[in-house]
A and B are shown apart, each in its own frame.
Chain A
């Protein structure tokens, strides 16, 4: 699979929920080893886009190609890690049991320790999830998403409820993973997080407004802060 240039290739994807348009003709490509940020307000379509990458959303129009395979496709999911917005864990299992379970689903229980250490939960591995703090649950959820060393990691607002110190630490590790060839898609509305991405996709009302590097976006909007640039670009385009 490693021969494909693009980890993700989305072409003209349309998805509606009832009359509500969630994705309105989105096309984008993400290279291998790239950290791609999906930036946009709540309800913009970020989660729908990410879910379409794991076959949980079937597009009405357009195609989704992940690691060279047309979605939905079951085998390719063995190489994709998905961290949902809500920390999706079994509250009555320990942190280690949770990670072990997802490791077993992917046939990669060998990665349990590494994953728990990656999120600084190795010392708390015996703790039952319901006794962990919100930030720890988020980290545990992240460990579950990368226990099988995925080639493509999808993170839906991964650092919500994580303190700044750990956030910096996690991002260092994301960058390290990317350097090792892992492609990462991060959705966020935290701007200082967006600054750490290689490229950004600004998404609003299910449309991709702009897709550039952080520097390009700032230059285009003629402002210095990414936040301002985002607001400016959002206003400029007809909703």
Chain B
């Protein structure tokens, strides 16, 4: 063991890092960006879930509950008619509503039973939880007045159901994410290898057109990606029993589109990296922020305002929403929300294909 030899290696690493500014920037910049984003996401005063209050109660208690809810800080509740509440629930405008029946006061005062109806949208377990919590809290005030009452809400779900769990919610998004992420990394590295080993130079000196290179790559990796997509989908549905009420072919279509986008994003971004090492660095810069902001973990509707704007620019947001629309809500291509999702993902595909082909040309000339 020679201290000077060990030191030589350590010192050489520092010399290399000094030359590789990008790695340094990543090493010291990326954690701040990611943690900052996460902090803002969680503490930035995002929107609370929206819910409706339908008060049909003829007695005095209904309005007490309604005003307690409307003043609640954990949800943003507003009074509305039942028809209005139902349609806004379906459009995804509110995450749920509580209905206080006409005999609400009578039941509470005479039979000591508090039995409101809670209608939940149900596709996002986090939001459903918040609403249930706020609703039960709003009855605490009432319990003091009526004394020793039995609280038996009747809960219905528009989508999902009582057995709908976190995996069901995340599963839909992760089916797309896993494919997108892996395909992106593999393509970027493969394309960089082509550059590094000099074969790209050789291809550029041949009558091959840039579009042919991009298309060839796309087809090759797309075939792999499709097999992977099918595998991931089958595993999720058959082994993990992830909740799915939608058309499996539609899920696969969206997955396939994401895979094609990932292939081309990989080709495009590999132009901005000199080494495979640098390509891997795109993961914290490109993938992590998308995972945080695409609504995979935190619903976009509860993000702080500025981040919501950012989320609505990210294509992954639409892909995730599309997958959830299909798997949780059973959407088909007739739904305008799914049309938007598929449209955005398609547009993104076209954009990165174009970007990949154009950058390839510029790099060479």
Contacts and interface: CB of A to CB of B under 8 A. Distances in A.
Nearest to A154: B205
Contacts, number: 47
B63 to A, nearest CB: 74
Nearest to B365: A58
Interface string A105-127: 11000000000000000000000
B198 A86 contact: yes
Q: B203, B205, B208: which has the most chain A beta carbons within 10 Å? A: B205
A87 to B, nearest CB: 8
B202 interface: yes
Contacts of B206: 77-78, 82, 102, 105-106
Contacts of B209: 74
A133 B203 CA distance: 23
Interface in B81-110: none
A6 B135 CA distance: 88
B364 A90 contact: no
B199 A89 contact: yes
B204 interface: yes
Task: State the main secondary structure of chain A at its contact with B.
Answer: loop
A144 B202 contact: yes
A106 B207 contact: yes
A72 B197 CA distance: 24
A65 to B, nearest CB: 17
A88 B197 contact: yes
A117 B102 CA distance: 94
Contact of A91 (B197, B202, B203): B197
Given A56-B364, A58-B365, A72-B365, A77 B207 contact: yes
* Chain B interface, DSSP helix/strand/loop, else mixed: loop
Contacts of A90: 197, 199
A231 B41 CA distance: 69
A77 B203 CA distance: 10
Interface string A65-88: 000000010110110101010111
A54 interface: yes
A75 B207 contact: yes
A58 B365 CA distance: 6
A54 B207 contact: no
A78 B205 CA distance: 9
Which of B204, B207, B208 has the most C-beta atoms of chain A within 10 angstroms of its own C-beta? Answer: B207
Contact of B204 (A56, A80, A89): A56
Contact of A56 (B197, B201, B208): B201
A105 B207 CA distance: 8
Contacts of B207: 74-75, 77-78, 105-106
B11 to A, nearest CB: 29
Interface in B182-218: 197-199, 201-209
Nearest to A86: B198
Given A58-B365, A72-B365, A82 B205 contact: yes
B205 A89 contact: no
Contacts of A56: 201, 204-205, 364
B365 A88 contact: no
Contacts of A74: 207, 209
A102 B204 CA distance: 12
B202 A88 contact: yes
Contacts of B205: 51, 54-56, 77, 80, 82
Contacts of B204: 54, 56
A81 to B, nearest CB: 9
A86 B201 CA distance: 10
Interface string A86-107: 1111110000000000100110
Contact of B197 (A77, A89, A105): A89
Given A54-B205, A78-B206, A105-B207, 13 more contacts: A55-B205, A56-B201, A75-B207, A77-B206, A80-B205, A82-B202, A84-B202, A88-B197, A88-B198, A89-B197, A102-B202, A102-B206, A105-B208
11 contacts: A56-B204, A56-B364, A72-B365, A75-B207, A77-B206, A86-B197, A105-B203, A105-B206, A105-B207, A105-B208, A106-B207
Interface of B: 197-199, 201-209, 364-365
Interface of A: 51, 54-56, 58, 72, 74-75, 77-78, 80, 82, 84, 86-91, 102, 105-106, 144
The 5 closest A-B pairs by CB, nearest first: A88-B198, A54-B205, A82-B205, A78-B207, A77-B207
